[in-house]
Amino acid sequence: MKSLFIVLEAVSLVLVVYGIDTTPKNTLEESLLSLLTQWRAGDRGPFSFPFPSLDEIKIPAVSGNYEGYGAKISYETTELKLVGLKNFSVASLDASEASLKASGTITIPVLTLSADKYTIQGRALWFIPVNGSGKMRIDFGNNQLTFSIRLRSNSSSTWVDTLQLAFSVGSLKASLENGPAAITTILNNSGVSIIQSNHDAIVKMVRNLILPVINNFLAGLTPEQLLQTIAGNGTIAPNAVRV
């Protein structure tokens, strides 16, 4: 299940019951919160490329192998669906126009990952044969993402100077139709630990994925152009963004 968890958390990091957002302390924070609130409500943003919809994220089918906690299995799924992102709240936000820096914490009460079909084969407790196939649902509770980003610029362009990410998952509950009890127990009892043990690998994957996208978007933009668009005073048409 290791690669499945890595894919899920990567999607959650790349993207991000309505919660109560933090109170902005300056104009930039107010503009950023307004932009995030509109995205949460379904608006796709003021940029030349749309923000992804938060209603449902589709993830390509995954397959892989996992060994740990006395289990050695192979698994595969059909296309995965992730819901719950639109219920995010901005727990804290600090942003400065002068330093071109922003940091904050985003919380998501529940993320639900599901597939119409999963298949598991292998062994549990080192020697007990296990197999299962059917519908899959995994609920991740009390999810939190913290971030810090600083931009640099010259007279004609802007780029990312530093980007730091961290995340945590508070709980995990798995439901595997026709699934082996031993694997369900491992997921429910140790799933959070499995995710956290791969924290650094997940963060590295996400940074390597999004840094080129962000820098490609910022190329050719002055900080003034970026800030005006965030504030709702214009729409910019940046370079084509390649994902």
- For the chain, the average pLDDT equals 86
Strand partners, 168: 144
**pLDDT above 90 (res 241):** no
Domain that holds residue 15: 2-62+79-112+135-172+205-230
Confidence of residue 48 (pLDDT cuts 50, 70, 90): low
Q: What is the pLDDT of residue 107?
A: 96
240 within a domain of the structure (yes/no): no
Phi–psi pair at 194, nearest 5 degrees:
-65, -45
pLDDT tens by residue, 1-39: 555 555 555 555 554 434 468 899 999 999 999 988 888
Strand partners, 93: 104
143 within a domain of the structure (yes/no): yes
How many residues are present in the chain?
Answer: 243
Q: What is the pLDDT of residue 11?
A: 52
**pLDDT above 80 (res 114):** yes
225 within a domain of the structure (yes/no): yes
| Residue type at 90 in one-letter notation | V
73 within a domain of the structure (yes/no): no
Confidence of residue 240 (pLDDT cuts 50, 70, 90): very low
Mean of pLDDT values over 57-85: 94
CB 83 within 8 A of CB 75: no
25 within a domain of the structure (yes/no): yes
Rounded Cα–Cα distance for residues 231 and 35 (Å): 8
Q: What is the pLDDT of residue 39?
A: 86
Beta strands in 78-185 (DSSP E): 80-83, 89-96, 101-124, 128-153, 158-176
Mean of pLDDT values over 71-88: 95
187 within a domain of the structure (yes/no): no
**pLDDT above 50 (res 196):** yes
Reading the block at residue 215, the tokens are 């820098």
Q: What is the pLDDT of residue 191?
A: 95
Determine if residue 212 is left, alpha or beta; phi over 0 gives left, psi from -120 to 50 gives alpha, anything else beta: alpha
Please report how many Cα atoms fall inside a 13 Å half-sphere around the Cα of residue 234, on the Cβ side: 10
Position of tokens 């699934």? 179
118 within a domain of the structure (yes/no): no
33 within a domain of the structure (yes/no): yes
List the one residue out of 168, 195, 134, 173 whose CA is nearest residue 1.
195
Reading the block at residue 98, the tokens are 């002068």
Reading the block at residue 62, the tokens are 């995954």
**pLDDT above 80 (res 63):** yes
List the one residue out of 37, 66, 72, 62 whose CA is nearest residue 51.
37
Rounded Cα–Cα distance for residues 135 and 112 (Å): 13
Q: What is the pLDDT of residue 18?
A: 42
The total number of structural domains that make up the chain = 1
Confidence of residue 232 (pLDDT cuts 50, 70, 90): confident
